[in-house]
Amino acid sequence: MSETPYLNALLQYKGKILNTVAICCILSLGSYFILPKNYKVSTSIALQTQYFQLPLVSGFMPETVDPQELRSKREALIHLALNQKYLEEMAEKYKLVKDPSNSYEIELLNKKFEIVPNGSSSFIVNFNATDPTVAYQVLEDFLNHLKKVMTEERRTVLLNLHDAIQEQLESISVGKLGEASSAILSARPDLVQRQIENVQNQIETLKKTYSERHPRILALKQELSKLSQYNTKSFTENTPVSVPNIDQVIAGTQIDPASLDLFNDLIRKYRYLEVVIYMDQQNKDQYVSFLNEPYVPHSPTFPKLPLLLTWGIALGFLLGSVRVLLPTLPKSQLVRTTGEILP
């Protein structure tokens, strides 16, 4: 058989082949200690469907029931938490990049996060880094930030709805409107702060076109002065929102008989919202559940020593075989192989 001379050559010079394999294995072993190691921390989380539901108020607030749309909303929340501002803060906190203000480096950092859908409501979240402890800390930080963003987004939806109903109640009520507004603002420093920021933005926008003495700017400054009387210094993002007692707010007001049914309906919905807001404040972080807890990895995902040794053995055998068989090839085959006639 034609393969016999080559097989005999391999068996005859097996020492050279084994030497080449040994050299390649030594190089593979050395590369394991030289190559930069990459560690992956992974966790599996589920974003509960009840996060997108509003109990007690679902009768007048539409709920999403389409699975694909709910999945899109879940992905949008995760990517909202993983925004550029937060990435810059993490890059500076954990020294992940050389220049946190460099958008290209921040983009590369973003790619180290892997968000993999794993079913209708669950996701696998991975983060890669050269230090296993840092990778774990970054992922833990991100998960806590995700919970905070979800809580803030849901609270904003509830408070906006709460404020919209409140405005309708004020427009229907006549009598002690000034006192009612004062009672609400005194109990809602978060609402005061948002109104102050809104008025300040309006003033800055108008200043680009009009002078300081423009009537609209003067009116906004007067409104800003009234809002500044309320104490919002002690308010922070983590401060629990206090919803005023609606009975005290509307006490002494008069209702137009034609609007009485609408007023009573809004009052009922207003009270439902008070219950929902209270429930959310008492049950924080209930909308994210862990299917697999993250942990500090003990071995890198790359390089893997067994894989490198396998590559070393395969490459060593290939190079050793070429080293042994090349001199035994006929000249005609060498011509076809190399394109030139060897002496």
Query: Mapped to the 3 state alphabet, what secondary structure does the chain carry?
Result: CCCHHHHHHHHHCHHHHHHHHHHHHHHHHHHHHHCCCEEEEEEEEEECHHHHCCCCCCCCCCCCCCHHHHHHHHHHHHHHHCCHHHHHHHHHHCCCCCCCCCHHHHHHHHHCEEEEECCCCEEEEEEEECCHHHHHHHHHHHHHHHHHHHHHHHHHHHHHHHHHHHHHHHHHEECCHHHHHHHHHHHCHHHHHHHHHHHHHHHHHHHCCCCCCCHHHHHHHHHHHHHCCCCCCCCCCCCCCCCCCHHHHCCCCEECHHHHHHHHHHHHHHHHHHHHHHHHHHCCCCCEEEEECCCCCCCCCECCHHHHHHHHHHHHHHHHHHHHHHHHCCHHHHHHHHCCCCC
- Bigger pLDDT: 182 vs 83: 83
pLDDT of amino acid 139: 95
**All domains of the chain in start order, with CATH:** 39-173+283-292 (3.30.70.1130), 304-343 (no CATH)
Owner of token pair 């995760």: 78
pTM assigned to the model: 0.64
Most confidently modeled range among 88-102, 151-165, 235-249: 88-102
Q: What percent of the chain has pLDDT over 90?
A: 18
pLDDT interval class at 144 (50, 70, 90): very high
Flag whether pLDDT at 44 surpasses 90: yes
